[in-house]
Structure 1
Amino acid sequence: MAMLLFLLFSLKLIPISVLSQSIRNITIGSSLSAGTNNNSWMSSPNGDFAFGFIKLEQEDTNDFLLSIWYAKIPDKTIVWYANTDTPASNGSILELTSDGLVLTDPSGEQLWKTEGLDGRVSRVILNDSGNFVLMDDNFANVWETFDNPTDTLLPTQISRRESLSFFFKMMVILSMYSVNLPSGYVNDNYYSSGTFDSNASSSGTQLVFDMYGGMYILRENNEKFNLSEEIRVSTTQYYLRETLNFDGVFTLYQHPKNSNSSDGWSIVWSIPDNICTYSVHNADFVQGCAEDELSNNNTDIYDFEVLIDIDWPFSDYVLQKPFTEENCRQSCMEDCMCSVAIFRFGDSCWKKKMPLSNGRVDPGLNGSKVFMKVRKYNSSLLPPPTIVIKNRRSTLILVGSVLFGSSAFINLVLIGLICLSTSYVFVYKKKLRRVNQRDYAVETNLRCFAYEELEETTNGFDKELGRGGFGVVYEGVINIGSTTRVAVKKLNNFLLQEVEKEFKNELNVIGLTHHKNLVHVIGFCEAESERLLVFEYMSNGTLASLLFNGEKPCWKLRRQIAFGIAKGLLYLHEECTTQIIHCDIKPQNILLDDYYNARISDFGLSKLLNMNQSKTNTVIRGTKGYVAPEWFKNMPITSKVDVYSYGVLLLEIISCRRNVEVELENEEKAILTDWAYDCYKDGNLDALVENDKEALEDMKNFVKLVIIGIWCVQEDPNIRPTIRKVTQMLEGVVEVQVPPCPSPITIQYSLY
């Protein structure tokens, strides 16, 4: 019995003994020199991982990387590194101090160190999971590589919001985006988990890589949101690692533990599943996805037209800095995505891709150079010559000479061919006239769909997303390199003339716009009496459904949405080549994308103004409760009508109630705009949000938004601010003044 107890006790001591051996010589003051015979400072107890210096593979360098790697695989696959920006030269020293790890070059210059440990470090360990940990006297972790990841995650690694590496952005979603070096300019994310939730209890807190190869976001309510496929890989048979590769694909790899081959890594799953479909929106990832014309010598195909002080403000996708003018030209020439490069400030190169929109002359650019890529003349790229029949007389002479010089059979064949050709020409010309008659004042980057294609896309128009006065919106799925959800708006055809006007108006307006707070149109269909528009799908529905269907969304999100709508309207009113008045701003026309960004939709009621126009007269447009008083007074209509509607909408966002609720027992609350002013005047703003704790804790911004809303709903449009002034007040650039009473007769207008 004593022997059995001794054996059991001995077995329990084995891991501790092995652990002691692995850290035996690593005490405060210990050091390791790069380039010595043994560049490994320590190994994990099971021998799977090693920590130390790895020599970089470039033949012309003698530099080293402080790393953790798989020790039993011949190619020493790296899973963590410290000093990628400042490689350590031969003779550099790594030292363990009470402040942590310090890496210096042979001259004593510091290359890298662990930050914020303030003398708390007393020991170090590399555990079997590959986590390198610094501990204090009480064996508590004070720093670890699992909390400071680079491009690889290992099984059991948990990454919190504040500890994720540069390629992740973890708030309540997981995003991947590219960063332009050396400028640090961040592109739009090319992948997102779509896990945003306005409910704080559902917000993501941790990114977890479990021991079986699964990856998920853990929310505050302990709910798991899986990012990977449902899999279970045996960790007794395979090494596992998740790595963000150079092409932007995040991939789970496995490697047999009993294999000595360095080629043993195989893919289990990856996100995104097809990076080529994402490179359409992010031009950094073009390897394997590039256009066919990308060649080693693009100067044979393209040249640059040089312009001065021209800009397309919303087409940037890369900032390269510091760059010379020649670097800028060359970079754009070698990039198949680059249509224009703008060289500014003597060292900044902004690359822009199609579609170029909102182009303008801007003297404020102070002589910046624009390099516009244009195709050189090249006969091999020209289409084949077209035979043109100049006139009827010469045609008859040609036909007669052929007929009389040929046999009867050939004559018949020729006559038949001529008849077919003639009918084809007439049909073609007819179609061409129909196309030319269409009022497409848009850049032709919209896809033209066949009606049958959209019918199939929507499964026979079976899933309705919403409807309005001019049509019904259906959900559909199309394939544009990958399966993509879309919203198909089918316009009513009971009044073809009105539908035609609506269709062309909406197509023209949306085709001319490009802004992150506007819904993007993908294409259209014009088939006999049917008119349809295809939009990007907005996964989180309308603002109305968010505000009025139960629990209030968080205050921060509501503020974010209010800002987004204002910026979208500013673009429509002042930043488009053609000024646009929307005329129907309301919660049902504000859609929410994957990240709950506000996107203005439904331009069917928009009124287009030329840049030299500021007002127009028209029949009443809009929705009751949101219509500005000037519509009823036969007054000129300006962009201030949208400001009025925005003010009503802003008060709805603040209070999470509809602007008109006539069923309320308290009639004083029936009209939101009047009640909001009464609450403000009487110092009773708590009632407006019904004790919304988050809003009341942010009292300064809460009061400011209410005041801005009251300014926007002034009956006199001359008192109302412009949307630019509204945006400046929201951003705190312009001081918000005390508003006057909107109007004693606002009620009769609001109830329209």
Structure 2
Amino acid sequence: MGIGILIKCFGGSSSSSSSSSSTKQPSTTVEYLCRRFSLAELRKLTGDFDRSRIIGEGPYGVAYRASISVNGQIEDVAVKRLRQPEAYGISLYKNDILFTCQLHHPNLLSLVGFCDDNNEMIVVHEYAPNGSLFDKLYESPRLSWKRRLEISIGVARGLHYLHSGTKRTIIHGDIAPITIMLDENWVPKLSFFGVSKKAPKSKAKDVKRKELESVEGSVGSRKCLRVTNEVMHKSDVDSFGELLVDLICQNTSFNNTIDERLVAEMTEECWKLYMEIAESCLSKDPNERPDMGDVEVQLERLLQLQEEADTNHVLLI
């Protein structure tokens, strides 16, 4: 595969030119934005991919914990090695790197580097000690209602940045519990940009659309950009609505039902507002779905209401 392919995708060039118009070096080439590891380096960092270092394992690959020096400081990282490159797809791997090395936000998982030696497909990113949201939703002890609400706000902020905080709107395309990682402070980080797309910026009442030649499958989520060939940023809003439902459901034999224990932690006003937000995000008409900036504000207000109610409850005891 080689780094030349990735540089070309950025519009850069590894060769020099005598033309004065081409003397400027591109500012967004891969080697400037992230680190290219050799396979030998990663073998050493992971103890030759020792099983004792495994922090996650799925159908497409294995993630290992390692420590590296970043700007003079030792930091833990996750080394994700794909073991079925053909099934995963080079395009997904390449797309993931191209997006994540350019995007920087507290609610996006940071890319450290990659390795494509000897046809390997390895991504190195920041380590998220609390794993994926999918893992935490159904394990014991369960996440509190307030923690789930804080996580939803973090995801909303990440999506708001993708939709409005970059030069062109970015459609994540795969928002689901499995692609949301949690750091040591339970801050959610959006990960996996393999199916992400750029689209023209859009406004609330002017949903821009971008035609794709095809829609590729996602890794681990139940759907990816619906079944349509027309992709919009409002598809992320719909997926976020499903995430809100996931956050208040309990999984029983793969059938989702509302977790009554969580409902008991909410005030009636907060429960009503939460459901209104979820329903608006899940509207069948994309034009009726809110922008993520509006969703973020509503969820922050909801958290404020819940905290006020909790404080008043304590004072009454």
Q: Establish whether residue 646 from structure 1 lines up as the match of residue 240 from structure 2.
A: yes
TM-score (norm 2): 0.76
Q: Establish whether residue 600 from structure 1 lines up as the match of residue 190 from structure 2.
A: yes
2:78 is aligned with what amino acid? A
- Distance of aligned partners of 1:552 and 1:584 in 2 relative to their CA distance in 1, 3 Å threshold: same
| Structure 2 CA distance for aligned equivalents of residues 552 and 616 of structure 1 | 41
Q: Establish whether residue 529 from structure 1 lines up as the match of residue 119 from structure 2.
A: yes
- Distance of aligned partners of 1:537 and 1:556 in 2 relative to their CA distance in 1, 3 Å threshold: same
- Distance of aligned partners of 1:695 and 1:500 in 2 relative to their CA distance in 1, 3 Å threshold: same
1:692 is aligned with what amino acid? L
The aligned counterpart of 1:571 is 161
Output aligned runs, 1:323-342, within 5 Å: none
Please give the per-residue CA displacement for 1:523-549, whole angstroms capped at 9, x wherever unaligned.
122213012111111111111122111
In the TM superposition, residue 586 of structure 1 has moved relative to its aligned partner by 1.0
Q: Establish whether residue 485 from structure 1 lines up as the match of residue 76 from structure 2.
A: yes
Contact 2:169 2:201 in 1 (8 A): yes
Q: Establish whether residue 561 from structure 1 lines up as the match of residue 151 from structure 2.
A: yes
The structure whose Rg is larger is: 1
| Structure 2 CA distance for aligned equivalents of residues 588 and 706 of structure 1 | 22
Contact 1:644 1:713 in 2 (8 A): yes
Q: Which runs of 5+ in 1 are unaligned?
A: 1-430, 665-669, 676-687, 734-752
- Distance of aligned partners of 1:637 and 1:700 in 2 relative to their CA distance in 1, 3 Å threshold: same
> Of the candidates 275, 282, 288, which is equivalent to residue 713 of structure 1?
282
In the TM superposition, residue 601 of structure 1 has moved relative to its aligned partner by 0.8
Task: Give 3-state SS (helix, strand or coil) of 2:198's partner.
Answer: strand
In the TM superposition, residue 437 of structure 1 has moved relative to its aligned partner by 5.5
- Distance of aligned partners of 1:547 and 1:493 in 2 relative to their CA distance in 1, 3 Å threshold: closer
TM-score (norm 1): 0.34
- Distance of aligned partners of 1:624 and 1:505 in 2 relative to their CA distance in 1, 3 Å threshold: closer
The aligned counterpart of 1:507 is 97
Output aligned runs, 1:75-224, within 5 Å: none
Task: Give 3-state SS (helix, strand or coil) of 1:715's partner.
Answer: coil
In the TM superposition, residue 590 of structure 1 has moved relative to its aligned partner by 0.8
| Structure 2 CA distance for aligned equivalents of residues 699 and 602 of structure 1 | 36
2:34 is aligned with what amino acid? L
> Of the candidates 293, 299, 305, which is equivalent to residue 724 of structure 1?
293
| Structure 1 CA distance for aligned equivalents of residues 47 and 241 of structure 2 | 39
Contact 1:526 1:532 in 2 (8 A): yes
In the TM superposition, residue 719 of structure 1 has moved relative to its aligned partner by 2.6
Task: Give 3-state SS (helix, strand or coil) of 1:552's partner.
Answer: coil
Contact 1:583 1:621 in 2 (8 A): no
Please give the per-residue CA displacement for 1:242-278, whole angstroms capped at 9, x wherever unaligned.
xxxxxxxxxxxxxxxxxxxxxxxxxxxxxxxxxxxxx
| Structure 2 CA distance for aligned equivalents of residues 728 and 616 of structure 1 | 30
In the TM superposition, residue 695 of structure 1 has moved relative to its aligned partner by 2.4
Q: Establish whether residue 699 from structure 1 lines up as the match of residue 289 from structure 2.
A: no
Contact 2:148 2:247 in 1 (8 A): yes
The aligned counterpart of 1:616 is 211
The aligned counterpart of 2:177 is 587
| Structure 2 CA distance for aligned equivalents of residues 616 and 609 of structure 1 | 9
1:594 is aligned with what amino acid? E
In the TM superposition, residue 447 of structure 1 has moved relative to its aligned partner by 1.6
Question: How many pairs were matched up?
Answer: 273
Contact 1:493 1:530 in 2 (8 A): no
Across the aligned residues of Structure 1 and Structure 2, the Cα RMSD in angstroms comes to 2.8
Output aligned runs, 1:248-267, within 5 Å: none
Contact 1:486 1:536 in 2 (8 A): yes
| Structure 2 CA distance for aligned equivalents of residues 502 and 625 of structure 1 | 17
- Distance of aligned partners of 1:644 and 1:605 in 2 relative to their CA distance in 1, 3 Å threshold: same
In the TM superposition, residue 472 of structure 1 has moved relative to its aligned partner by 2.7
Task: Give 3-state SS (helix, strand or coil) of 1:517's partner.
Answer: coil
Please give the per-residue CA displacement for 1:698-728, whole angstroms capped at 9, x wherever unaligned.
3322321122112222233233222223223
1:721 is aligned with what amino acid? P
Task: Give 3-state SS (helix, strand or coil) of 1:573's partner.
Answer: helix
Task: Give 3-state SS (helix, strand or coil) of 2:288's partner.
Answer: coil
Q: Which runs of 5+ in 2 are unaligned?
A: 12-27, 203-207, 303-317
| Structure 1 CA distance for aligned equivalents of residues 248 and 242 of structure 2 | 10
Calculate percent identity across the aligned residue pairs: 30
Contact 1:555 1:694 in 2 (8 A): no
Output aligned runs, 1:222-621, within 5 Å: 434=4, 438-440=8-10, 442=28, 444-461=32-49, 462=51, 463-468=53-58, 470-480=60-70, 481-495=72-86, 499-611=89-201, 614-617=209-212, 618-619=214-215, 621=217
Contact 2:66 2:77 in 1 (8 A): yes
Structure with greater helix share of residues = 2
In the TM superposition, residue 566 of structure 1 has moved relative to its aligned partner by 0.5
In the TM superposition, residue 493 of structure 1 has moved relative to its aligned partner by 4.8
Contact 1:583 1:642 in 2 (8 A): yes
1:458 is aligned with what amino acid? T
Contact 1:627 1:641 in 2 (8 A): no
Contact 2:163 2:201 in 1 (8 A): no
Please give the per-residue CA displacement for 1:610-668, whole angstroms capped at 9, x wherever unaligned.
5486323332544554556xx33x4521112211111111111123x24xx5x47xxxx
Output aligned runs, 1:725-740, within 5 Å: 725-732=294-301
In the TM superposition, residue 729 of structure 1 has moved relative to its aligned partner by 2.4
Task: Give 3-state SS (helix, strand or coil) of 2:113's partner.
Answer: strand
Task: Give 3-state SS (helix, strand or coil) of 1:544's partner.
Answer: helix
Contact 1:578 1:608 in 2 (8 A): yes
In the TM superposition, residue 454 of structure 1 has moved relative to its aligned partner by 0.7
Q: Establish whether residue 690 from structure 1 lines up as the match of residue 245 from structure 2.
A: no
| Structure 2 CA distance for aligned equivalents of residues 693 and 702 of structure 1 | 7
Contact 1:584 1:621 in 2 (8 A): no
2:41 is aligned with what amino acid? E
Task: Give 3-state SS (helix, strand or coil) of 1:487's partner.
Answer: strand
The aligned counterpart of 2:231 is 637
Please give the per-residue CA displacement for 1:261-296, whole angstroms capped at 9, x wherever unaligned.
xxxxxxxxxxxxxxxxxxxxxxxxxxxxxxxxxxxx
Please give the per-residue CA displacement for 1:27-81, whole angstroms capped at 9, x wherever unaligned.
xxxxxxxxxxxxxxxxxxxxxxxxxxxxxxxxxxxxxxxxxxxxxxxxxxxxxxx
Task: Give 3-state SS (helix, strand or coil) of 1:619's partner.
Answer: coil
